[in-house]
């Protein structure tokens, strides 16, 4: 596969992921790739347009960017059936406004980790973390 073909496949897979996630929520997505020893870690990060804060959607590890994107797409197709829904109410330390953010995670700690992804824990005040009822 040529570099151009690989680049086109990466763009196509990123677009599929954006369409699947963004179609339901109007959030912006950032794809963060990190080279590990012999693998690639992909973090998909959402940016909420209301308060302009970013949160981890999900992380995967693959053998290449294309492999990681395929793994992320597989996760997206099934995550609602496998993970619980959590609501976190929070505010920035310098702001008095209350914000509400929603996460899908395997457990409460994973939801909190997604909330604090690349964030200083002292920059926010978390008022509540709630496991939402199954619908």
Q: Are 13 and 69 in contact (CB under 8 A)?
A: yes
Work out the average pLDDT over 18-26.
73
pLDDT at position 19 over 90: no
CATH topology of domain 1-82: Double Stranded RNA Binding Domain (3.30.160)
Q: What is the pLDDT of residue 25?
A: 64
pLDDT for position 51: 84
pLDDT of 46: 92
**What residue ranges do the domains of the chain occupy?**
1-82, 83-135
- Residue 54 in this model has a pLDDT that exceeds 90: yes
Task: Return the half-sphere exposure (C-beta side, CA atoms, 13 A cut-off) of residue 90.
Answer: 21
Q: What is the pTM of this model?
A: 0.89
pLDDT at 24 over 60: no
At 89-99, the pLDDT tens digits run 999 998 878 99
Beta strand spans in 36-111 (E): 40-47, 54-62, 84-92, 99-105
Q: Given this model, what pLDDT does residue 23 score?
A: 56
| Of 73, 62, 81, 59, residue with least CA distance to 15 | 73
Residue 1 reports pLDDT greater than 80: no
* Pairwise CA distance, residues 127 & 96, whole Å: 12
pLDDT digits (tens, 9 = 90+) for 97-128: 899 999 999 999 999 999 999 999 999 999 99
Which residue bears the tokens 């008095």?
96
Give the tens place of pLDDT for each residue, 57-80.
999 999 999 999 999 999 998 888
């Amino acid at each position: 596969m040529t570099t151009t073909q690989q680049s086109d496949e990466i763009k196509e897979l990123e677009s599929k992921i954006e369409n699947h996630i963004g179609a339901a929520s109007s959030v912006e997505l950032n794809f963060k790739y990190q080279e590990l020893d012999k693998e690639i870690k992909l973090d998909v990060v959402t940016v909420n347009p209301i308060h302009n804060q970013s949160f981890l959607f999900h992380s995967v590890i693959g053998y290449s960017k294309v492999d990681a994107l395929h793994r992320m797409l597989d996760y997206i197709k099934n995550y609602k059936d496998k993970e619980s829904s959590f609501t976190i109410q929070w505010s920035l330390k310098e702001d008095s406004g209350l914000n509400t953010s929603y996460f899908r995670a395997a457990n409460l700690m994973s939801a909190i980790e997604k909330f604090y992804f690349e964030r200083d824990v002292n920059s926010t005040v978390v008022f509540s973390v709630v496991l939402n009822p199954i619908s």
